[in-house]
Structure 1
């Protein structure tokens, strides 16, 4: 992974996905309406995020995150969780770095990201070699990723996502862009031998046949996942105990409460 990122910096990475992630993070911070005095950023792209948050402590997304325990009121994990060997471990370390009632925001790729490339590569490789090799990193689904926040001990968890459809002049232009942004294949169990001959030529043909926008463009999907949670604090709102409500819902809605045996006035009596 570090080799891919170093190569990306050397080539001048295409940072449009980071631009999108930064915009969404900033929007969430505006909604929170709180001033953060000791922020920290965990990322594999320190130059970019340090410019956006000049007062933040910026550390790499290594397996051991170099943040002081209880030192920060905001921790942003920026565009790295989809590469993490242990995403729950990353979240636990970020939670430990937060002060009570501190905010965690994670932004990363997941879900349907590169669904078109996966399908075209799989079809091409199956046709050429009769099997499949791990060539695109697996992506977590939002229905599963939201549970990571609770497993990490973060309160008031929220998970949401948004899809971006990006057009390219060709499938090979997409591959070049992925390489330039440091998102090439870094899987430990990826196939080390050369790919089947004509694999990428075949992939490009299939991709262009199935995912063309017009004669000169193809589409690629990127799904951004955002996780938000808070370090537990006694000052946070707690859910009420069942049966503790002092006002009936029917009174609030200004309607009549039906008993268990009641029948709708205009319903069929069957």
Structure 2
């Protein structure tokens, strides 16, 4: 296990396999939404990609979105567990923290809702950029800061109240600015990030937790407490959740934030920022001209 690891990666896969075995329609609504957004984001890209890779997409919805967009000639899926490799696309079993792709071997790489669970996220970004051909595109989505903030606060308050301390129960998620920095550090050209936040309402906290289990999103933090948790703790957390985050009709709110990112492998044809000192007009001259235009004409 790598030093300073945050997640138990084997436990993550165990949770996902259990969720897959009990899959019910609609429980993959987060991934389905991300896949729909991916198709929309590919639509305005005016080029085709000979080789596209769906990296860690769990169910193949990302690969299906690429196929629907008509932007790729060949689509390859990479999954850490063979259990998720169903469907018509050629596939590779590999860890998304140790990509099996050679340098400059893919034209498009997409990743939907998996990179937030990597222990070496900067390394994963670098490997993706390294695997892209010059002028290749990376499009990714990951859970961002604010996701499940209400649940985190409620569990924390209940544990502090009952035990006088707290252990991590909801994973930390990256801020959109941090994701932009990771793209730059990895060497992507023209990096762009944006965030989409939305609210899902539930009857109570237990219904939310049931949905998270159905998505394989249980607590997989290495620093999680191994002590058994009493029913009293969860009942108190549910009460706090309802007190702080319910609507007038009694239903509770759960926030999900999706950070979208895109970046290109550098290529000579791409637009470059102007070099310092290359501008043909100075800022001082521009301000002076603006002041002149704002002064009233004395002859009128």
After TM superposition, is the score higher than 0.5? yes
Aligned partners of 1:108 and 1:226 also within 8 Å: yes
Once residues 234 and 57 of structure 2 are traced to their aligned partners in structure 1, the CA distance between those partners, rounded to angstroms, is 28
Correspondence for 1:151: 185
Task: Give 5+ residue unaligned stretches, structure 1.
Answer: none
Residues 197, 255 of structure 2: 8 Å contact kept: yes
Match of residue 222, structure 2, among 185, 188, 192: 188
Spell out the pairing of 1:228-267 with structure 2 (5 A cutoff). 228-246=262-280, 257=289, 265=295
- Distance (whole Å) between structure 2 residues aligned to residue 163 and residue 126 of structure 1: 28
- The structure showing larger relative contact order (alpha-carbon pairs under 8 Å, at least 6 residues apart) is 1
Q: Which residue of 2 aligns with 1:56?
A: 75
Aligned to 1:212: 246
Corresponding residue number in structure 2 for 1:104:
138
Q: For residues 197-247 of structure 1, what are the alpha-carbon distances to aligned partners after superposition, in whole Å with 9 as ceiling and x for unaligned? A: 511111111111111123341110000001110001111111222332346
Which residue number in structure 2 is paired with residue 91 of structure 1? Answer: 125
RMSD of equivalent CA atoms: 2.4
Q: TM-score, normalised by structure 1?
A: 0.89
In 2, Cα distance between the equivalents of 1:58 and 1:233? 25
The CA distance in 2 between the partners of 1:70 and 1:101, in whole Å, is 10
Matched, 1:16 2:29: yes
TM-score (norm 2): 0.81
Equivalent residue in structure 2 for 1:202, among 210, 228, 236 = 236
CA contact (8 A) 1:163 1:222 kept: yes
Q: Displacement, 1:47?
A: 3.3
- Residues 75-122 of structure 1, C-alpha deviations (whole Å, 9 max, x = no match): 011110110101111111111110000000110101100010011111
CA distance in 1, matches of 2:147, 2:132: 30
Structure 2: give runs of 5+ residues left out of the alignment.
1-11, 68-73, 80-94
Asked if the contact 1:41–1:58 (Cα under 8 Å) also holds between the matched residues in 2, the reply is yes
